Each structure stands twice: as C-alpha cells, then as structure tokens.
A and B are shown apart, each in its own frame.
Chain A
Amino acid sequence: MSGLKLRNVKKSFGAVDVIKGVDLDIEDKQFVVFVGPSGCGKSTLLRMIAGLEQISSGDLFIGDKRMNDIDPAHRGIAMVFQSYALYPHMTVRENMGFALKFAGRPKDEIARRVDEAARILELGKLLDRKPGQLSGGQRQRVAIGRAIVRHPDVFLFDEPLSNLDAELRVHMRIEIARLHKELNTTIIYVTHDQVEAMTLADKIVVLRDGIIEQAGSPLELYDDPNNLFVAGFIGSPKMNLLTGTVEAGGIRLADFPNDLIPSPIAIPAGTAVTVGIRPEHFDPTGTAALDTSVEIIEHLGGETYAYARGTGSNLLTIATDNNRTLKTGDRYQARFNPASLLVFGRDGKRLR
C-alpha cells in the first residue's frame, strides 16, 4: 500500500505562505498530475512530499506512515528533476547505482537492478558514458532509470519534459505513460503543461496560489470545472469566456448585445455572469447562435479554427467543423447548443 494522504499541509517561507492548506488523497498506483501556472506552489508541494522542503504544518502520510520528519531517502520515493540532476562525474551506470551503493546493497544486486532498468529504458549501450556525452532525451531516460533502480513506492516527477523539444516531449510523454503501466506504482507528476496533465493523469490536481482549485479525473475537470480558473486552464485551445448579464429569457453578452442567448440554468435576472464555451462545442447544428465577423483563420487540416469577434474586442475561438471555405472578413453564425454553456458568477465560482 503506497497511497498518499495530505492533511491541511502548509508551507511558509518566512512571512510568505506558499502552500496554504492542502488536503489530498492519492490512491495506490494512481498517476496524479499537479498542474498550475508558475508560482502556484506545485513544485514546492512535490518537494515537500519528497522531503526536500520542511512541512510547516499539517501531516503527510505515505502508506500509513506519517512522513513529515523522515529523511528523503527513507520515504520510499524517487524523484526525477527538470534539469535531470545527473552526477556529471559518474557514468550512467554509476549514476543509476549510486543510491543502492550508498544503501550498502551487494554489488551483484546493484548490477542486476541497473541492468533491469537499462533494459526497460533501452539504455544498454549508454551505460558507460558520462551524462555530458548524452542528448537531452537520453539524459532524461537515465534520470528516470536512476529512479526506477530504487524500486520506490512513489515516483515524483518535477516538470521532467520541460527541457526537451516539442517532438521529444511527445515521445517521452508516451514513454512515461508506458512506464506507469509497466511499473504499476504511484506517480506524482508536476507540470505547467495542461496537455501533459490531460494525457497522462488518472487524477489532475489544479493548483493556484498554494491552494487546490479542483482535483479530479481529466474529463471531470474538462466537462465540469468548479470555477473560472480551472475552466480556463484545462482544455486546448482555451475555453472562450465572455462576460454578460442575465435578463428575462436569457443572457445578454457584452460583446454580443444583439443576441440574447438562452441560459442553461435558472439564474435570477440582473445577475452578472461569465459564460464559458469551449471552441470545440460550437456546432453548426446548434439551436443558439452568436453573430460574429471572422478575423483570422487557422487551417490545421483536420480542423479549421476561426478567431472571430462580436462588437467588442475579445476574440472567440471557434472550431468550425472543418469549414474550409471560410475566409477572413466573413460573417459567421457561431452556433451552439445552450446545454454546452458553463456559467460562472462574478466571484469566479460555477453556477449550477
């Protein structure tokens, strides 16, 4: 059993509160992704789990054991760093076996475990090289290998793909997903890239300013965000967010004063709201419409995105169901089903 429990965990640096009380349950073998903008505290939270930062208050349990005051080496965790943090003066083999050597394991066991990790990550030919002689992707694999060798209960990844180019990042993302299946252990993964979060996670934890905004499965967060922040953060391209006011019979958007759109829920007239609609939820067969003029067209081949506006300055992103004839300057009826709208109050909370 190597689930994790965080109970009202807090962290302050002097007078600055970085983590302001986090409660979280992570199940055994779950792939959990902490995601959020830079400075939201996601890396700090990971480092607190690792034992690299002291927990100011609250409790951390790994399995059933309270780990607040346990050394990083004895928490049953292994960590992969953004900069890989490989020891530059050691070969790949020595890097991977270093922790075991320090734990006083016999040589043949170290060799066996290093070879096993090298096989999983296809590092066999690189074992006698130094990190300086490896490419970024290879270094990252060695860093993962160093973690695997320790047979940890929990893997911690701190933005492991940020230093790789786009193509390699996609490749390594798949590798990590495969690894999770193969190793079958708990993984906690920090990223600011919501695509990584969506593709890898069993459970996404969205953080902002040291608090959890929402935690749930990728599709829960996508379909049913609790607030404006999560709605805007999850999903690519981003959700369109438009301010408006509720009137009798619908919502009047500031950018579309001529269109009264039906509200998906009952809200008292006069309420100021923000309406969210995802680009891919525009649907030519929808019952409601916004009258827009197209500013920019993006042909991606499989899909065509139109960036269009009403009377205001905000650009709407619209997936046009691959409408290839659309041109800049065209009028476009952006149709949608009212049920796909999400409505948020002025405080940012979702109105249901």
Chain B
Amino acid sequence: MSNPLALIGRIATYLLLTVAAFVSVFPFLWMVIGATNLSADIIRGKVTPGGALLQNISVFFSSVDMPRILFNSFLIAGLGTALTLLVSSLAGYGFEMFRSKVREKIFAGLLLMLSIPFAALMIPLFIMMANFKMINTYQAILLPTVASIFIIFYFRQATKAFPHELRDAARIDGLKEWQIFLYVYMPVMRSTYAAATIIVFMANWNNYLWPLIVLQTNEMKTLTLVVAGLTSAYTPDFGVIMVGAIFATLPTLIIFFLLQRRFVEGMLGAVK
C-alpha cells in the first residue's frame, strides 16, 4: 500500500464496516447469551454465557403451548406467503404484459395506497372483519395481506425484464395464458419469487399489530404475539423471553440462508 491516503481510506472503510457489523450482529449475540442466563443476570448486564439455558427452555415450554403456537405461525406465514406470491405475481404479470389505456392510472392508484399507514386502516379493517364474522380466524390475518401492493410493484418491475418474445413463443407452442404463467413465467422468474418469499415470509412471520388486534384467544396466537406477551408479565423473565426470541427468529434465518443466493439474484433482476 504505497499511497497513505488510500490506506487511511481503507482503514476508515473497515472501521465503518466493523461498527455496522457489530450493530447488526450484537442483538443476536445478546439474544443467544441471554438465553443462557437468569433474568437477574441479564438485568445486571452480564454479557458472558451462563448455565441457565435448560432451565429457561423448560420454563418457556411449560408456559407456552408450543406445538399449537408453531402451527398457527407456520400456517399463517406459510399460507400467507404462498397466497401473496400467487396473487401479487399474477397482478404484476398482468400489469406488465397487457396493454390498456387505464393500466397506468390503476397502477398509480395502487401505489398511492402505499402511502396510507396501517394505523389508519386498522379500525375500518377491524370493523369489516367483525361484520364478516371473521374476528379470531386465520382468514382475518391472511386476507388483508394477500394483495400486497409492494410485492405487486416488485413483481411488475421484475417482469419488465421478462422477454415478451418468450410469451409469444409459448403462444405459438400452443400454451394458454395460465399455462404460460405456470410453465414459463414462474420458472423463469424463480429468483424473483425467492426474494419475494423471504420478504413476505418475514413480514408475515413477524406481523404483530394486526394479529394482536384480530386474534383474541390463546390457541389462535402466533409465536410473535406469545413472545411479546411474555414481556407483559408483572416480573418478566428475560432469559425465557430470549429463548422465545430465538425460536421466533430461527425460521426466518433458515429461509434466508436457504434462499440467499436466489435472493441476491432476484434483487439484481431475475432474467439474464
């Protein structure tokens, strides 16, 4: 390294990256270490591993109906993701593939809706669900998330790179529109689907506010709600909460690492 300025620049870069890495990794580290400590130690600020892991786990499992809660969470996140991807990618495909005079106006209207915060939709949505007698059902969680405007937008953008000639070729090969979607579009866009899966699954899995409002009995609750519920006890047991947090984080981590390569491809553009 002959140029001192370049050296300083490199050092600064690494310092900045180190800080950023620390900031992003520390909460995970703290969560894992916390799960091995007693609540009192955590409050005292102990950052070294302790020996209370098994105790924390057993307390967690005795206070939470884990199979039922996991079933709820996976059902809502899994089914929600599948439905969202299907509906939103169909919409994105339609918006990009078909010419229409009103297409851009409708799309602009959709995008405009992104600017409405969920807090403003919450109460009308709740009243609507109440009228449909859907409070405390899976449908109440799934339906409002299925048509995700952001994911429609994401699919439309990605579809711009999907060659129209592929659709033409498929039409000449005798495929109907839905077959083109199923046998050509979906496989070609798999990176886009992978990236969207991570985004949507994480959003559904971590969804808190809306489930908190519409899910009212314990056997309907999701893991996120249950872990959050642990903190509201009179004397929260932080070790147990950390165990819950680990369980709540694991699925998204696993999905991310499984789809990581495709996620990056999908973010860069699916069709090469």
Contacts and interface: CB of A to CB of B under 8 A. Distances in A.
Interface of A: 47, 50-52, 71-74, 77-79, 81-83, 85-89, 98-99, 102-103, 132, 146
A83 B164 CA distance: 10
A78 B172 contact: yes
A103 B173 CA distance: 8
Contacts, number: 59
A95 B174 CA distance: 13
Contacts of B251: none
B272 interface: yes
Given A83-B165, A87-B166, A89-B187, A50 B271 contact: no
Contact of B171 (A73, A83, A132, A146): A73
A85 B165 contact: yes
B188 A132 contact: no
B253 interface: no
B172 A102 contact: no
A83 to B, nearest CB: 5
28 contacts: A50-B168, A50-B172, A51-B171, A52-B168, A52-B171, A71-B171, A71-B174, A73-B174, A74-B174, A77-B172, A81-B165, A81-B168, A81-B169, A83-B165, A85-B163, A85-B166, A87-B187, A88-B188, A88-B271, A88-B272, A89-B187, A89-B188, A99-B173, A99-B174, A102-B175, A102-B179, A103-B174, A146-B169
B172 A72 contact: yes
Contacts of B128: none
Given A87-B188, A88-B271, A98 B173 contact: yes
A334 B163 CA distance: 51
A82 B165 contact: yes
B123 interface: no
A184 B169 CA distance: 23
A320 B271 CA distance: 52
Nearest to B189: A89
B261 to A, nearest CB: 16
B173 A132 contact: no
Nearest to B171: A72
B184 interface: yes
Given A74-B174, A78-B172, A102-B179, 18 more contacts: A47-B168, A50-B168, A50-B172, A51-B172, A73-B173, A79-B168, A79-B169, A81-B165, A83-B165, A85-B163, A85-B165, A85-B168, A85-B169, A87-B169, A87-B188, A89-B188, A99-B172, A99-B174
Shortest beta-carbon contacts, A-B, top 6? A73-B174, A99-B173, A85-B165, A85-B169, A89-B187, A81-B165
Nearest to B184: A87
B156 to A, nearest CB: 20
Contacts of B172: 50-52, 72-73, 77-79, 99
Contacts of B179: 102
A77 B173 CA distance: 10
A79 B172 CA distance: 7
Interface in B94-137: none
A52 B163 CA distance: 15
Contacts of B168: 47, 50, 52, 79, 81, 85
Contacts of B272: 88, 132
A83 B170 CA distance: 14
B183 to A, nearest CB: 8
Nearest to B165: A85
B44 to A, nearest CB: 56
A334 B179 CA distance: 64
Nearest to A74: B174
Contacts of A81: 165, 168-169
